[in-house]
Structure 1
Amino acid sequence: MQKYLVCTLLIGLLSMCAVAQTSDKQKIMAALDQQVICWNKGDLECFMATYWKSDSLKFMGSRGITYGWQNTLDNYKKAYPDQQSRGQLKFNILNLDPVGEDHYFVIGRFYLTREIGDVKGLFSLIWRKTEDDWVIIADHSSVEN
């Protein structure tokens, strides 16, 4: 009887963990979907809402490492000053895996469809759960040739 009780409790705990992971994955996917909507509307501040609003945010790209939310936003505004340069964004998420209780590692592809020439590349994101929501704390994006 005691073994049955322990097994039942263990199965219940594992089920709760699986539900929590599914919910967390859904929240992260919803945030990524919202990023695409914001980008395609031309609202870079809205796009950046999923990023950790901290000077400790890290963005790695072809120009090196940028530290901080505001600096990352400023770089986006410089690199994509108008709708023609921003184009239409699409993500293809390849992996979304937990790396601990409050972190996820996401790998995906991005596609920018633009009249001035399409751009595509890969990205990896580290997401952290805060008291309020999931936020990106590190982004590494690279353009494919």
Structure 2
Amino acid sequence: MKRLFLLLLIFISLQGYSQSKDSDLQKIQSILNKQEKAWNRADLEGFMDGYWESEDLLFIGKSGVTNGWQATLDNYKRSYPDAKAMGKLHFTILKTEKLSDNVALVIGKWHLTRESKDLEGHFSLTWKKINGKWVIIADHSS
């Protein structure tokens, strides 16, 4: 009887962890969907809502490492000065993994459909739950 009770407790605990994990990954997916929509409205500030608004944010791209939320936004504005340059963004998620209660990893592909030349590449995003909100703390995009 004690073993059955212990097994039941373990099962219930694992179910709770799995549901929490799924819920967190769903929240992250929702933020990515919002970012995609903001980009497609040419709303860079809205797109940046998914990022940690901190000087400790890291963005790693073809030009190297950028430190900070504002510097990352400024780089986006220089690279994509208007809706035509921005095109239409589509994310394809290849892998999501919750690494701990408050850290997750998302790997995927991005594609910009534009009038002139389409662009595409891959990304890895490190997410952290800070003050109850999931945010990107490191973005490595190529």
- Fold equivalence (TM over 0.5): yes
2:11 is aligned to: 11
Query: Which residue of the partner structure matches residue 129 of structure 2?
Result: 129
Which residue in 2 is equivalent to 1:96? 96
> Which residue of 1 is the match for residue 57 of structure 2?
57
Q: Any stretches of 5+ residues in structure 1 without a counterpart?
A: none
For 1:94-115, what per-residue CA distance to the aligned partner results, in whole angstroms no more than 9, with x for missing partners?
A: 0001111111110000000001
Work out the CA distance in 1 between the residues paired with 2:116 and 2:140.
24
- Within a 5 Å distance, the mapping from 1:1-145 to structure 2 comes to 1-142=1-142
Aligned-pair distance for 1:132? 3.1
Q: State the superposition RMSD in angstroms.
A: 0.6
SS of equivalent to 2:124: strand
Give the partner amino acid of 1:123. F
Cα deviation, residue 131, structure 1: 1.8
Among the aligned pairs, what percent are the same residue?
46
Secondary structure in 1 aligned to 2:55? coil
Amino acid at match of 2:113: T
CA shift at 1:54, angstroms? 0.4
Q: Residue type matched to 1:2 in 2? A: K
Cα distance in 2 for partners of 1:22, 1:130 equals: 18
Amino acid at match of 1:118: D
Determine helix, strand or coil for the equivalent of 1:84.
Answer: helix
Structure 1 runs (4+) greater than 6 angstroms displaced: none
How high is the TM-score relative to the length of structure 2?
Answer: 0.98
Q: Which moved more, 1:30-39 or 1:129-138?
A: 129-138
Count of equivalent residues: 142
Which amino acid in the other structure matches residue 63 of structure 1?
A: S
> Structure 2 stretches of 5 or more lacking a match?
none
- For 1:88, the aligned partner's letter is K
Tell me which amino acid in the other structure corresponds to 1:135.
V
